Amino acid sequence: MIAFLDDAQTHRNLAELSPGEHCRVVGISEGGGIRHRLLEMGLTRGAAVQMIRVAPLGDPIELQVRGYRLSVRKAEAATVMVEMTTHRHSISS
Amino acid sequence: MIESPVHTVQIAVAGNPNSGKTTLFNALTGLRMKVANYPGVTVEKREGVLSGTQITLLDLPGVYSLSARSPDEEIARDVLQGRLPGTRRPDAILLVLDASNLDRNLYLATQIIEFGTPVVVACNMIDVAAQRGLRVDCEALSTRLGVPVVPTIASTGQGLSELKALLIALPMQATATRSWRLPAAFEAAVDAVAARLRECGLVPTHAAPAGALLWLMDYLSGDAASRRSAERFLARLSRDRADGMRREAEALSQAIPDAASVAIEARYEWISSIASAVVRGHEGSDDAVDARSRAGTLTDRVDAVLTHRVFGPVVFAAVMFVLFLSIFAWAEPLMGLIEAGQTALAGVVSAHMNEGPLRSLLTDGIIAGVGTVLIFFPQICILFFCLALLEDTGYMARAAFIMDRLMSGVGLHGKSFIPLLSSYACAIPGILATRTIEDRRDRFTTILIAPLMSCSARLPVYIVVIAAVFGERTLLKAGVMFSMYALGTLTAMGLALLFKKTLFAGPRPAFILELPPYHLPKLGGLLRTTWDRAKLFLTNAGTIIFAVCVVIWALSYFPRTSEADFSPEATAQLASMADADVGDRENLIASERLRLSYLGRTGRLIEPVLEPLGFDWRIGVGVLSSFLAREVFVGTMGITFAVGEADEQSVALRERLADATWPDGRRLMTPLTGIGLMVFYVLACQCVSTLAVVKKETGSWRWPAMMFAYMSVMAYVAALAVHQIGGRMGWGV
C-alpha cells in the first residue's frame, strides 16, 4: 500500500509534464494499435523523454525521444505512464 | 507478374521519412525516372536507373515500420516480400538511415535486414549528426548489422560513388538472421508459422522467419488495419493452413498477452545496445544531449518563434496567406494566358474552316476541352511547388502541429488544414494535397468536404448575380459575398462532424507526427517533385475531364436546327430585326439553337423541377452546363439571354439579367432568386474535374458518385428553402 502511494507520487503521465521536464517511460496503459505505434516510434519502457513544448492552441505537445522530435496529442500522451527524472539520472543508468 | 525478357537488377530504396531517402534517390538516378501510382492507391511509385548502369532503383514510400497500418507501410512491405502484383521482388535493398537519429531508423532497418535480401546501408546525413555532436562508427555498425554501411551526405554527394560501387558489386546471395531473442513461447510460435509459410511457397524460404514474425505482430496488434492485412494474407492460403496459422497466433496470445508489444520492446532493447556501441555522443553513452538541448540547435531556435504561442500562429497565418495568394492570384496571369491562347487558337481554326459540325467540334469541343484541363495547370503547379517547399523545409509538420487543435474540433487532423485552405482557390489541388494525410477516414472526409470551399470558379457567378440584383449597394454586396464563403465553410465543418460520426465512424485516429529538423531545400528537387505530380494530374484526371467536355459539347450542339425549326416568337423577333443588326440576329439565333439542343431541351424538361427554386429554363441551362465546370455559367448565360459573348464584367448581361421576366411578366432575377442561385452554386458539386480527381484519388467511382449526390441534393434543398421560405415571408421579392 505504501509502495503504491509512493508510485502515485512519482508516476505521472506524459500529458502532465511541463516544458523542459525529463522523464522515463514506465509503460503505456492503453492497448491496441496506438500503443504499438507509440512503441514503434521509440516510447518503450525505460526510454528517456523530454517534454519540449505545447502547441500554440494547447494541444498537441512536442517531445524529445531517442534523439528526435515527436508530436502527439495530449489524449495519446496521457496513456504513457512515466517516472520523473532529472536528466542526470537518465544518463547514469 | 510480368517478367521483362532481360532480367535487369532491381534495387528498392527504403528508409524512414525525413531520412534524405528521396534526395539520395534523385542523386543516384539523375533525371531518368518515371513516376506512377501503385495500382488502386495513391502511393507514388518512383522508378529510376542507377546512372551509368542497367540497375533500376525503386523508391519505396518512407515508413517507420513494416507493420501494415497505412497504405504506405503496406506497399513498402508487400514490395519487399515480392507480394505486390506488377512489381518484382527486389534483388537487393538500399537502406537509408538518418545518422542523427539512429535508434528509430534502426527499427525499420533491422526489420528489413532480417528478411535476408541483400542490403547496403547508406548512413546518411552524417553532417547533421556531427552538428549535434554525434559520430557514427560505420565500420562497427556494419559488423553489428552484418551488412555493408557507407557514410553519406546525399545533399552534397559525399559517399555516393562508394555507395554506387557497392550496389553494382552487390553479392546476390542472402543470409537471414535475427540477432535478438524473443521469449521461448514466442520463438516457438514464430518457428511454427514460418514452417507453414515455407510449405505454402508464397514466401522465399530464407525470409519465412521474418515474415512469420511480421504476420504474428499484425495479427495480434489490436489495430484494425493491421489485422485486415494479416487476414488478407491468410485468404491466399488453403483453409487448413490459414486455420493453422490462426491457431498458432491465438495460442501465442494466450501464452504472452500483448505479444506484439513484447516484440517491439525486445527489438528496441537490441537496437539500444547497438546504438550506444556505435554512436559517440549517444544519449546512452554521455551527456551530449544535455549540452545540445541547453545550447539549442538551429531548429530549436527557429521553432521557439515558429511554434511560439503568439508568433507561431502569426507566422502561420502569413505563410498561409502567401500560399493562398499564390494559388489564387499569381496563377491568374497564366490562366489568362491559357484562355487567350485557347481563344486565339479557336479563332484561327474558325477562320480557316467552313462552319459545320467539324469546326464546332474542334473549337468548342476539343480546344475547349484541352483548355478546361490546362486552365487548372498553373494553380496545380504552383500549389505542388508550395507543398513541396513546405514539406522539404520541415514546416508542413509544424503547420499540422499548430492547426491540429482547431481541426480536431470537427474530428479532422492537423494535416487537413492546408488541403482545405487550397480548396478556396480550387478543389482539385486541394484534394491532391490530402495525400499527406495517412489515415484513410481523415483523408476521405477531407476530400468529401473540400469542394464546399468556395473556389475561384464560383467567384464570377457571385459577381454577376450580385451585380444584377443588388445594383450599387457596395456594403450589402460585400456582405452577401462574404456570407456565401461563410456558408460553404460552415457547411463543410458541419458535414465533417457528420461524416466522422457516420460514414467514417470509429476510434479517433492518433496524431503521431515527427517534427523533422528544418532543412534548406534544393530548387532542383522541388521542381522535380512539382513536375512529377503535375504530370500525373494531366495523364490521370486530364483524360476524363477532356472526354466529358466533348460529350457536353455534343449535347449543346446537336440536333442542328435551322431557322425553320425556331419558335414563332423567335421567328417574329428575327423578322422584326433590321438586316443591319447582324450581331443581335446572331445572338438570337445562337440562343434559339441552344434552346432547341439536347441540353436546352433538358433545361426546359426540368424547368418544372427548377421553378420552385425560382429558376427558369435559361438559368436551368446555365446550371446544367455548369455541372461540367462552373466557369461556363457566365458564358452560357450570355448565350441563353442572347447577349452574345459575356464575362463577369459584362454590363449587357447584368442589365439583361436584371430586366429578365417570366412569360407572365413577373421579374425573374429578384434578390431572393439571386440568393437562391448563389446558395445553389455554393453547395452543388458542379465540376467534372473535381469528380474525376476524386475518382483517381479514392480508386473508385463510389466516392465521386456519393459526393455528387449529397452535394446536389443539399444544393437543391437549400435553394428551394431559400426561395419558398423567403417568398412566403415576402423577403426580397
Domain spans of chain A, in order of start: 2-92
Q: What is the pLDDT of residues B362-397, one digit of tens each?
A: 888 888 778 877 877 887 788 789 888 988 898 989
pLDDT band with cut points at 50, 70 and 90 for residue B713? very high
Q: Which of A62-76, B76-90, B496-510 has the highest mean pLDDT?
A: A62-76
Mean pLDDT of B147-164: 93
More confident residue, B265 or B475: B265
More confident residue, B622 or B456: B622
pLDDT band with cut points at 50, 70 and 90 for residue B42? low
Please say which residue of B106, B134, B168 terminates a domain: B168
More confident residue, B24 or B660: B24
Mean pLDDT of B137-162: 93
Question: In 10 A of CB B183, how many CB atoms?
Answer: 15
Task: Determine whether the interchain pair A67/B303 forms a contact, defined as Cβ–Cβ distance below 8 Å.
Answer: no
pLDDT of residue B86: 79
Q: Which of B69, B397, B405 sits opposite A58 (nearest CB)?
A: B405
Q: Which of A44, A68, A71 sits opposite B265 (nearest CB)?
A: A44
Residue A39: its chain B contacts at CB < 8 A?
261, 264-265, 268
Distance of CA B662 to the CA centre of its chain: 45
A34 reaches B (C-beta below 8 A)? yes
Quote the DSSP letter at residue B629. Answer: B
In a domain, B246, yes or no: yes
Same domain, B231 and B121: no
For the stretch B490-515, what's the b/e string if a residue is b when 16 or more beta carbons lie within 10 angstroms of its beta carbon?
ebbbebbeebbeeebeeebbbbbbbb
Task: Determine whether the interchain pair B101/A66 forms a contact, defined as Cβ–Cβ distance below 8 Å.
Answer: yes
HEC letters along B577-611: CCCCCHHHHHHHHHHHHHHHCHHHHHHHHCHHHHH
Mean pLDDT of B488-495: 94
Same domain, B453 and B382: yes
Which one, of B511, B534, B454, B528, lies nearest residue B487 by Cα?
A: B454
Dihedral, B556, B557, B559, B565 alpha carbons, nearest 10 = 90
Dihedrals phi, psi of B603, to nearest 5 degrees = -55, -45
**Predicted ipTM of the assembly:** 0.88
B420 reaches A (C-beta below 8 A)? no
pLDDT band with cut points at 50, 70 and 90 for residue A86? confident
B293 reaches A (C-beta below 8 A)? yes
Per-residue pLDDT for B526 more than 50?
Answer: yes
CATH number at residue B120: 3.40.50.300
In a domain, B710, yes or no: no
pLDDT band with cut points at 50, 70 and 90 for residue B229? confident
CB B110 within 8 A of CB B97: no
Q: What is the pLDDT of residues B590-603, one digit of tens each?
A: 888 888 888 888 88
H or E stretch including B150?
strand B149-151
β-pairing, B44-49 vs B56-59, is antiparallel
* Nearest CA-CA distance, residue B222 and chain A, Å: 4
Residue A76: its chain B contacts at CB < 8 A?
510-512
pLDDT of residue A4: 43
β-pairing, A80-85 vs A11-13, is antiparallel
pLDDT of residue B182: 94
pLDDT of residue B540: 66
**CA–CA separation, B566 vs B518, rounded Å?**
68
Which one, of A22, A16, A10, lies nearest residue A77 by Cα?
A: A16
Per-residue pLDDT for B174 more than 80?
Answer: no
Residue B261: its chain A contacts at CB < 8 A?
28, 35-36, 39
pLDDT of residue A3: 41
Which residue bears the cell 457547411? B491
Please give the single-letter amino acid code of residue B622.
G
**Proportion of chain B above pLDDT 70, given as a percent:** 94
Cell numbers describing residue B183:
521469449
pLDDT band with cut points at 50, 70 and 90 for residue B289? very low
Same domain, B267 and B328: no
pLDDT of residue B171: 66
Q: State the CATH architecture for A2-92.
A: Roll (2.30)
pLDDT band with cut points at 50, 70 and 90 for residue B98? very high
Looking at every residue in chain B, the average pLDDT score rounds to 85
Number of domains in chain B: 3
pLDDT band with cut points at 50, 70 and 90 for residue B321? confident
pLDDT of residue B216: 95
Per-residue pLDDT for B334 more than 90?
Answer: no
**CA–CA separation, B598 vs B600, rounded Å?**
5
CB B385 within 8 A of CB B376: no
Q: What is the CA radius of gyration of chain A?
A: 13
Quote the DSSP letter at residue B731. Answer: -
Same domain, B50 and B159: yes
Which residue bears the cell 446555365? B622
Q: Domain span at residue B203?
A: 184-296
Please say which residue of B266, B296, B326 terminates a domain: B296
Q: What is the pLDDT of residues A32-48, one digit of tens each?
A: 678 888 999 999 999 99
Task: Determine whether the interchain pair B268/A87 forms a contact, defined as Cβ–Cβ distance below 8 Å.
Answer: no
* Nearest CA-CA distance, residue B18 and chain A, Å: 11
Distance of CA B139 to the CA centre of its chain: 42
Residue B303: its chain A contacts at CB < 8 A?
53
Quote the DSSP letter at residue B234. Answer: H
Same domain, B145 and B198: no
In a domain, B682, yes or no: no
Per-residue pLDDT for A18 more than 80?
Answer: yes
**CA–CA separation, B362 vs B346, rounded Å?**
8
Tell me how far CA of residue B542 lies from CA of B116, B536, B537, B547, B549, in angstroms: 43, 9, 6, 9, 11
A48 reaches B (C-beta below 8 A)? yes
Residue A56: its chain B contacts at CB < 8 A?
307-310, 312-313, 402
Per-residue pLDDT for B80 more than 80?
Answer: yes
In a domain, B265, yes or no: yes
Largest CA distance in chain A: 40
Dihedral sign computed on CA atoms, order B283, B286, B292, B293: positive
Same domain, B146 and B190: no
**CA–CA separation, B36 vs B535, rounded Å?**
10
Same domain, B287 and B430: no
Residue A75: its chain B contacts at CB < 8 A?
508
pLDDT of residue B83: 81
Please give the single-letter amino acid code of residue B195.
A
Same domain, B452 and B488: yes
* Nearest CA-CA distance, residue A20 and chain B, Å: 9
Please say which residue of B498, B528, B558 terminates a domain: B528
pLDDT of residue B69: 78
Which residue bears the cell 489564387? B328
Which one, of B542, B532, B534, lies nearest residue B48 by Cα?
A: B532
**CA–CA separation, B68 vs B77, rounded Å?**
7
pLDDT band with cut points at 50, 70 and 90 for residue B567? confident
Task: Determine whether the interchain pair A36/B221 forms a contact, defined as Cβ–Cβ distance below 8 Å.
Answer: yes
**CA–CA separation, B593 vs B636, rounded Å?**
12
Q: Which conformational region is residue B281 in: left (phi greater than 0), alpha (psi within -120 to 50 degrees), or beta?
A: left
Chain length of chain B: 733
**CA–CA separation, A93 vs B485, rounded Å?**
58
Residue A38: its chain B contacts at CB < 8 A?
512
Same domain, B370 and B424: yes
Residue A66: its chain B contacts at CB < 8 A?
101, 103-104, 283
Q: Which of B224, B261, B515 sits opposite A62 (nearest CB)?
A: B515
Task: Determine whether the interchain pair B312/A31 forms a contact, defined as Cβ–Cβ distance below 8 Å.
Answer: no
Per-residue pLDDT for B558 more than 90?
Answer: no
In a domain, B565, yes or no: no
B413 reaches A (C-beta below 8 A)? no
